[in-house]
Every structure is written in structure tokens, then in C-alpha cells.
């Protein structure tokens, strides 16, 4: 299979990245700094991530907000211009087809960023349900993420308007002479920005950002450990077509207006099942696990209670560099889901002790004004 390249592929190679296949692309998993140091650098300064493999789409036309609300339980009608919302594409069984970010660009114009692994299915799903709107896939765009406590100072040096953004807000901006759309958002739990820009200008802007002493290029390995520490879900791990928002701890993503009794209740796939899960609770829940000791656990491994009975499975695991030890997220039975409960994970022929831990593992530091 021939792997696709992002517009920064040559720059990654120049910077000494270790490249791996991911979602059909040749992507940097780490740079010479190494995953742990890349992770720590993002937490203390600023990391630059290439996320151009993500899908960027525009939905526009009359009643486009209502169209999107027929597919997601978010409040799209109430979204202000240049405001964003996290949204779940739900299925008829109440499970999740993908999670995405929706930004309102105009009264009837919306910008969507979808997961790389799901973008073909998402596009097909949108096209199969569209009625009177148009869907445009922005094939000629790149997407960069600048994340970390120094990100705002860097942005202030380049674009004062964007530097003033609060979390989940965006603006059109000129960045180093390039027309961009910048949002205050990201996937690390840190303050930061995502920059949508022409593919032809991606390397120019990336090099300009990397000129700052506080900015380092960061790969997918650290991106994963950062999002795990921040308690953020990864589609295919914490979210699948078999997991509903209640189980995932994402009940907040079902907007008040869209809930049972709300002003625009339901109308999205799986609404009755999701309402029931939110009202009655679910038999399994997503939790954090802190590993006692240094032995790592892995995705898919079985979680056991004190009696050795299976009570769940690990869905994501990594070394939490900010914490100094292995961490994981898992789905476990409701009875075992309270913080402080001691469990174990079956790792080959041993049981590794773990403790259920409240999420996120580290505080989220989004800039809310």
C-alpha cells in the first residue's frame, strides 16, 4: 500500500523524524528529542504537531445547522459565529461513528475537522444524509497544532488577534503573510491553537514557528501520551460504534437543548438509547488507571477485580511522562469504577496492580479568559 504524505513530509525527514504508517499516511512518531522529552517539552513550553492527515470539510447551505443536528447531539443551532463545539456522530445503536469538531463560519456555513481514520466513512455518511446542502472536502489544506503554555506568547509575536482567542473560539488571521483560520483548541489538555492553512504554505509557517526557541517538533507518540494524561478519548480506542456517550463519560456532549425535554430534543441517530443510558447509568464506564510500579500495561489487556474475575479491558495505555509512571484508560464494570478502587491488569502470566483514578490525570489548562 502506498502511503500518503502530508505537506510537511520533507520537513519531518529533514528534522530526523522516525516515520511510521498511520491512517494511511507516513507520519512522524517521534523526532530525535524522543517521546518522553517531546511530551515534557509540550507541557512546559510549546510543541508543534502536524495533524494535516485529519479531514477538513465545509458544510453549507440552507438549514445546514438543522442538517448537522440530525446527525450529532450537539447544539449547532445555538453555536455563535467563529465558535466551536465538540460533537459525536452517533449511530442507530447509540454508539459513536466518530468524534469531531464543528466550527460555525457563517449563518449557514460550518467547518468540520474529522479523524483521519474515519474521514472516508464520515464523508460518505454526510453525503448519504445531506439534503439541500453542499459538502466540500478541503483537499488542499494543512493543519498544524501549536500546543503548550508558551504557545500564546509565540502566537502573540505573529498574530495578536489570534493570541487573544479563548478556548473553542476561532478567527481568520494573517500568519506570516499567509491567510489562515486559527482556533484556540487542541488535543493535549494544554492551551494552544490549531491552524488551518493552504497546503502550499504549510512548510513556511511550520519553519517560522520552529524558529522560536520555545517550540519543538512533536510526533504522534507524545501526542498520544499527552491526550491520555488529559483524559481525552481516541476514536477506535475509547470510542467505537459499540460504545455510547454515557459509557464514555461524554454525557456533556449531548447538549441541554438536545436532551429529553429540551427545546430540540433528540432527532439524532440512537437518541432513545443514549437518553436511557444517561438517565439510568451504564453497566460499564470509562475510567483512568494508575499503574502501581513501572511495568506497563497495554491496550486490550484484561482488567481483574480482587477475586480474579474479569471486570473490564484496557482501551489505551502509555507512559505518563508528567506523572512519572505508566497510566491507562479502561472500561470497567460500574461497581469497580469509583476512584480509589484497586484492581489488576493481566499482563502475560502476572497481575499488575492498578488503582482507579479520576480523569484527567493532569489538570487541563485551556484558556477560558
Q: Walk me through the domains of the chain, giving residue ranges and CATH numbers.
A: 9-54+140-229 (3.30.1360.120), 283-369 (2.40.30.110)
pLDDT by position in tens, the chain (length 369): 899 999 999 999 999 999 999 999 999 999 999 999 999 999 999 999 999 999 999 999 999 999 999 999 999 999 999 999 999 999 999 999 999 999 999 999 999 999 999 999 999 999 999 999 999 999 999 999 999 999 999 999 999 999 999 999 999 999 999 999 999 999 999 999 999 999 999 999 999 999 999 999 999 999 999 999 999 999 999 999 999 999 999 999 999 999 999 999 999 999 999 999 999 999 999 999 999 999 999 999 999 999 999 999 999 999 999 999 999 999 999 999 999 999 999 999 899 999 999 999 999 999 998
pTM to 2 decimals? 0.97
Helical pair 151-158 and 202-210, crossing angle rounded to 10 deg? 120
> Is cis: bond before 60, omega within 30 of 0?
no
Q: Phi, psi at residue 186, to the nearest 5°?
A: 165, -175
* Cα–Cα distance measured from residue 341 to residue 345, given in angstroms and rounded to the nearest whole number: 13
DSSP 309: -
Which of 86, 117, 90, 77 has its CA nearest to residue 245?
90
Amino acid at each position: 500500500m502506498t502511503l500518503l504524505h502530508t505537506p510537511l513530509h520533507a520537513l519531518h525527514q529533514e528534522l530526523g523524524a522516525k516515520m511510521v504508517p498511520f491512517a494511511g499516511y507516513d507520519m512522524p512518531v517521534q523526532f530525535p528529542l524522543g517521546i518522553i522529552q517531546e511530551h515534557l517539552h509540550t507541557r512546559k513550553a510549546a510543541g508543534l504537531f502536524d495533524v494535516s492527515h485529519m479531514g477538513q470539510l465545509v458544510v453549507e447551505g440552507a438549514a445546514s445547522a438543522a442538517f448537522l443536528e440530525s446527525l450529532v447531539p450537539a447544539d449547532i443551532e445555538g453555536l455563535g459565529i467563529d465558535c466551536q463545539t465538540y460533537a459525536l456522530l452517533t449511530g442507530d445503536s447509540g454508539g459513536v461513528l466518530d468524534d469531531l469538531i464543528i466550527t460555525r463560519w457563517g449563518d449557514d456555513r460550518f467547518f468540520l475537522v474529522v479523524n483521519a481514520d474515519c474521514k472516508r466513512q464520515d464523508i460518505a455518511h454526510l453525503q448519504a444524509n445531506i439534503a439541500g446542502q453542499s459538502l466540500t472536502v478541503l483537499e488542499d489544506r494543512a493543519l498544524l497544532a501549536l500546543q503548550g503554555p508558551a504557545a500564546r506568547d509565540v502566537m502573540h509575536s505573529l498574530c495578536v488577534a489570534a493570541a487573544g482567542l479563548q478556548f473553542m473560539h476561532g478567527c481568520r488571521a494573517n500568519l506570516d503573510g499567509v491567510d489562515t483560520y486559527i482556533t484556540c483548541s487542541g488535543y493535549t489538555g494544554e492551551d494552544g491553537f490549531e491552524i488551518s492553512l493552504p497546503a502550499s504554505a504549510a512548510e513556511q509557517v511550520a519553519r517560522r514557528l520552529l524558529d522560536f526557541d520555545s517550540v519543538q517538533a512533536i510526533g504522534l507518540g507524545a501526542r498520544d501520551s499527552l491526550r491520555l494524561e488529559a483524559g481525552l478519548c481516541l476514536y477506535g480506542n475509547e470510542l467505537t460504534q459499540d460504545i455510547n456517550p454515557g459509557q464514555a463519560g461524554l454525557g456533556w456532549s449531548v447538549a441541554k437543548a438536545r436532551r429529553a425535554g429540551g427545546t430540540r430534543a433528540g432527532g439524532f441517530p440512537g437518541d432513545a438509547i443514549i437518553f436511557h443510558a444517561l438517565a439510568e447509568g451504564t453497566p460499564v464506564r470509562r475510567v483512568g488507571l494508575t499503574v502501581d510500579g513501572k511495568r506497563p500495561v497495554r491496550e486490550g489487556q484484561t482488567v481483574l477485580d480482587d477475586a480474579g474475575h474479569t471486570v473490564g479491558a484496557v482501551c489505551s495505555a502509555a507512559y505518563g511522562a508528567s506523572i512519572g509512571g505508566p497510566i491507562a484508560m479502561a472500561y470497567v464494570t460500574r461497581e469497580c469504577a469509583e476512584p480509589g478502587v484497586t484492581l489488576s491488569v493481566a499482563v502475560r502470566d502476572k497481575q499488575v496492580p492498578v488503582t482507579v483514578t479520576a480523569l484527567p490525570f493532569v489538570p487541563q489548562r485551556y484558556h477560558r479568559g
